[in-house]
Chains A and B, each alone.
Chain A
Amino acid sequence: MAAHSDHSSDFHQTGDIPKAQTKVIWKTFFILVALTAIEFLFAFTMDAGTLRNSIFIILTIFKAFYIVAEFMHLKHESKALIWSILIPLALLIWLMVALISEGSYYYDSITNYFN
Chain B
Amino acid sequence: MSTSTTLEAPNTGTWDGGNEPLKASYGKLMMWFFLLSDAFTFGAFLIVYGLSRHSHLPYTGEPEAFTFSTEWWPIPEKVFNAFPGLHGMDLPLAFVALMTMILILSSVTMVLAVEAGHRMDKNDVQKWLLWTILFGATFLGCQAWEWSHFIAGTEEGMVLADGTRIFGANLTVNQYGPPLFADLFFFITGFHGTHVFIGWTLLVIAFISTVNGVYHKRGHYEMVEKIGLYWHFVDLVWVFVFTFFYLI
Asked if A80 is at the interface (CB within 8 A of a chain B CB), the reply is: yes
Contact with A along B8-46 (1 / 0, CB 8 A): 000000000000011110000100100010011001100
Residues of A within 8 A of B63 (CB): 48
Q: Are B120 and A95 in contact, CB atoms less than 8 angstroms apart?
A: no
Bound complex: CA of A81 vs CA of B24, how far in Å? 8
Identify which of A26, A72, A78, A99 contacts B229 (C-beta below 8 A): A72
Q: Are B239 and A60 in contact, CB atoms less than 8 angstroms apart?
A: yes
Shortest C-beta distance, A39 to chain B (Å), equals 6
Asked if B108 is at the interface (CB within 8 A of a chain A CB), the reply is: yes
Given A56-B247, A67-B236, A77-B23: A36 and B101 interface contact (C-beta under 8 Å): yes
Bound complex: CA of A18 vs CA of B120, how far in Å? 9
Kindly name the residue among B23, B44, B53, B104 whose own CB sees the greatest number of chain A CB atoms within 10 A: B104
Given A57-B243, A72-B229: A18 and B115 interface contact (C-beta under 8 Å): no
Mostly, the A contact residues are helix
- Contact-residue bracket for chain B: 35 or more
Bound complex: CA of A25 vs CA of B111, how far in Å? 7
Identify which of B36, B53, B107, B120 contacts A88 (C-beta below 8 A): B36
Bound complex: CA of A32 vs CA of B90, how far in Å? 26
Residues of A within 8 A of B104 (CB): 29, 32-33, 36
- Contact-residue bracket for chain A: 35 or more
Given A81-B23, A104-B54: A43 and B93 interface contact (C-beta under 8 Å): yes
Bound complex: CA of A21 vs CA of B54, how far in Å? 47
Shortest C-beta distance, A79 to chain B (Å), equals 9
Shortest C-beta distance, A30 to chain B (Å), equals 10
Shortest C-beta distance, A34 to chain B (Å), equals 11
Pairs A–B under 8 Å by Cβ, sample size 27: A18-B119, A20-B115, A20-B116, A20-B124, A29-B108, A36-B101, A48-B75, A53-B248, A56-B247, A70-B111, A71-B110, A71-B232, A77-B23, A80-B21, A80-B23, A81-B22, A81-B24, A85-B32, A89-B36, A89-B43, A92-B43, A99-B47, A100-B47, A100-B51, A103-B50, A106-B55, A107-B54
Q: A92-B40, A107-B54 are in contact. List 10 more A-B contacts (CB 8 A).
A: A17-B121, A25-B111, A25-B115, A29-B104, A43-B247, A77-B23, A81-B23, A81-B29, A103-B54, A104-B54
- By a beta-carbon cutoff of 8 Å, the part of chain A in contact with chain B is 8, 10-11, 13, 17-18, 20-22, 25-26, 28-29, 32-33, 36, 39-40, 43-44, 48, 53, 56-57, 59-60, 63-64, 67-68, 70-72, 77-78, 80-81, 84-85, 88-89, 91-92, 95-96, 99-100, 102-104, 106-107, 111
- By a beta-carbon cutoff of 8 Å, the part of chain B in contact with chain A is 21-24, 29, 32, 36, 39-40, 43-44, 47-48, 50-57, 63, 75, 77, 92-93, 97, 100-101, 104-105, 107-108, 110-112, 115-116, 119-122, 124, 213, 216-217, 228-229, 232-233, 235-236, 239-240, 243, 247-248
